[in-house]
């Protein structure tokens, strides 16, 4: 009997990241971590085992991997032929669940059509998240696929948190603050339970700081506020995204600069943030290594905004017990962590420079009034856990027909307008 496994897929515009987890009782064990990168241009399949040992590093001709569907077929064939791995289900990261979806969902064509209506709310992510789902539905219609939403973790917010100060009918139509990076925050909250239970029950700010960046206020492990809102464009400046901006700037760009909505979208999503401020790079590592004063300014701006939002989130929590760094910048840039903690000094944060430089879990000095931690995020494990839980709940494979009754009805005119 072959090993039962779950495949986790996180698709981008030119790459498909995947992980395979073995199902062991009620638990999961990671087997393979890989990605197909350079789709359409210079496709390369890379994968490692749990110890980091390379399993494959193979280059393909562009015509062999012209799209996401081909990337999945190629990676799937390798998993099957080289490792005899045939997943019993696939879990997907889907950035936006809109007003309808607040928990992991078994996917069919109808659900995908609904999720397509939220493409305008996450144009960098949603189309790429849905492409592999459609490809697998077409190729393996009986293979259970589960969507896990980045917005779901924030859906328990108080209405005063999620409203904008605009007429109420817009909220009913779905124009509200959603929050993102929920799978990352959910993982960090669950991990804190096991490594720092005293902190996990308290008031914690988590900074998911990467090329996409946001922050979340956790109270007793639950999201109560986030820096991102209606789209993944709000809040902190990011690698190429502007973050918070006066709506009047958008009106100016359209009315005075005569830019089209598509040109404004491309600007705010692709030419702002660190790349816009520095004119050099969206990568903190490159900016850190640059002597150009614009690079230093971009880094200082990012740290300043993190500190600014920390004050806002601390106010939402009524105080602060700990700050957690996660994601690419948060996990790997000691210099950025140092800059940010300096901005948190008014909250009583005192950094231990040696612990910070060596990437320890706890990086605060004993005299610090708040805890400072570094926790590598694991969104893929979170997706695998949700997938396994849904398989168990619905007895996938023996009673697929139970899904329709548990699927929410379409709500709100936002979906209809965007369709």
pLDDT confidence of residue 404:
33
CB atoms within 10 A of CB 60: 17
Q: Compute the average pLDDT of residues 384-398.
A: 75
Question: Residues 157, 222: contact at Cβ < 8 Å?
Answer: no
Q: Per-residue pLDDT tens for 6-24?
A: 999 988 767 788 999 999 8
* Percentage of the chain lying above the pLDDT 70 cut: 93
Positive or negative, the Cα torsion across 127, 132, 138, 142?
A: negative
Cα–Cα dist 117/100, whole Å: 11
Indicate which residue of 49, 51, 150, 321 is catalytic.
150
Q: Which one of 79-83, 116-120, 169-173 scores highest in mean pLDDT?
A: 169-173
Q: Compute the average pLDDT of residues 356-384.
A: 95
pLDDT confidence of residue 339:
97
Checking if the pLDDT of 50 tops 70, the result is yes
- Helical axes 261-270 vs 247-255, angle rounded to 10°: 130
pLDDT confidence of residue 397:
43
**Two tokens, residue 332:** 């790997």
Of the two residues 3 and 22, the one the predictor is more confident about is 22
pLDDT confidence of residue 413:
36
Instruction: Name the pLDDT band for 41 (thresholds 50, 70, 90).
Output: confident
Positive or negative, the Cα torsion across 299, 287, 353, 375?
A: positive
Checking if the pLDDT of 401 tops 50, the result is no
Q: Per-residue pLDDT tens for 188-234?
A: 999 999 999 989 999 999 999 999 999 999 999 999 999 999 998 99
Checking if the pLDDT of 295 tops 50, the result is yes
Mean pLDDT of the chain: 89
Instruction: Name the pLDDT band for 117 (thresholds 50, 70, 90).
Output: confident
Instruction: Name the pLDDT band for 152 (thresholds 50, 70, 90).
Output: very high
CA atoms within 13 A on the CB side of 113: 7
- Is 142 tagged catalytic? no
Instruction: Name the pLDDT band for 414 (thresholds 50, 70, 90).
Output: very low
Instruction: Name the pLDDT band for 132 (thresholds 50, 70, 90).
Output: confident
Distances (CA, A) of 275 to 237, 297, 299, 302, 390: 10, 11, 11, 12, 40
Checking if the pLDDT of 71 tops 90, the result is no
DSSP 325-349: EEHHHHHH-HHHHHHHHHHTGGGT-
pLDDT confidence of residue 358:
94
Length of the chain: 419
Cα–Cα dist 162/146, whole Å: 26
Q: Compute the average pLDDT of residues 251-277.
A: 95
Instruction: Name the pLDDT band for 335 (thresholds 50, 70, 90).
Output: very high
pLDDT confidence of residue 399:
34
Q: Compute the average pLDDT of residues 157-171.
A: 94
pTM: 0.88
Question: Residues 58, 32: contact at Cβ < 8 Å?
Answer: no
Instruction: Name the pLDDT band for 39 (thresholds 50, 70, 90).
Output: confident
pLDDT confidence of residue 73:
86
Q: Is 167 exposed, middle or buried (0-12, 13-18, 19+ CB in 10 A)?
A: exposed
The CA-based dihedral angle spanning residues 13, 403, 118, 71, taken in that order and rounded to the nearest 10 degrees: 10
- From edge to edge, which strands make up the β-sheet containing 145-149? 54-59, 44-49, 27-37, 16-24, 5-11, 89-94, 145-149, 105-106
pLDDT confidence of residue 76:
87
Q: CA angle 83-86-88, nearest 5°?
A: 145
Checking if the pLDDT of 261 tops 60, the result is yes
């Amino acid at each position: 009997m072959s090993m039962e496994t779950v495949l986790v897929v996180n698709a981008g515009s030119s790459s498909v990241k995947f992980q395979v987890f073995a199902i062991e009782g009620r638990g999961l064990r990671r087997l393979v971590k890989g990605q197909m990168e350079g789709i359409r241009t210079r496709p390369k399949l890379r994968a490692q085992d749990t110890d980091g040992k390379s399993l494959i590093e193979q280059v393909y001709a562009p015509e062999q991997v012209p799209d996401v569907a081909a990337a999945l077929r190629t990676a799937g064939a390798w998993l099957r032929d080289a490792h005899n791995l045939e997943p019993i289900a696939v879990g997907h990261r889907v950035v936006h669940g809109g007003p309808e979806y607040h928990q992991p969902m078994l996917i069919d064509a109808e659900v995908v059509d609904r999720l397509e209506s939220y493409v305008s709310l996450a144009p960098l992510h949603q189309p790429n998240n849905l492409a592999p789902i459609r490809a697998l539905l077409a190729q393996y219609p009986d293979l259970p696929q589960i969507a896990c939403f980045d917005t779901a973790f924030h859906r328990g917010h108080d209405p005063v948190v999620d409203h904008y100060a605009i007429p109420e009918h817009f909220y009913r139509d779905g124009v509200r603050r959603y929050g993102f990076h929920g799978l990352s925050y959910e993982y960090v909250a669950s991990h804190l339970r096991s490594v720092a239970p005293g902190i996990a029950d308290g008031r914690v700010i988590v900074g998911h700081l990467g090329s996409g960046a946001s922050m979340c206020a956790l109270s007793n492990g639950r999201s109560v506020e986030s820096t991102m809102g209606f789209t993944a464009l709000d809040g902190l400046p990011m690698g190429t995204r502007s973050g918070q901006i006066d709506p009047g700037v958008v009106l100016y760009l359209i009315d005075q600069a005569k830019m089209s909505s598509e040109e404004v979208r491309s600007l705010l999503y692709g030419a702002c943030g660190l790349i816009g401020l520095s004119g050099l790079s969206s990568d903190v590592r490159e900016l850190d290594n640059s002597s150009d004063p614009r690079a230093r300014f971009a880094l200082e701006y990012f740290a300043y905004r993190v500190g600014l939002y920390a004050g806002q989130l601390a106010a939402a929590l009524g105080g602060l017990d700990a700050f957690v760094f996660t994601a690419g910048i948060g996990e790997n840039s000691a210099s950025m962590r140092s800059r940010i903690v300096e901005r948190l000094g008014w909250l009583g944060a005192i950094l231990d420079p040696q612990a910070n430089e060596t990437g320890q879990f706890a990086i605060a000095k004993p005299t610090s009034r708040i805890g400072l931690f570094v926790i590598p995020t694991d969104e893929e494990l979170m997706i695998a856990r949700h997938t396994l839980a849904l398989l168990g709940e619905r007895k996938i494979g023996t009673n697929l027909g139970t899904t329709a009754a548990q699927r929410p009805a379409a709500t709100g005119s936002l979906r209809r307008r965007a369709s």
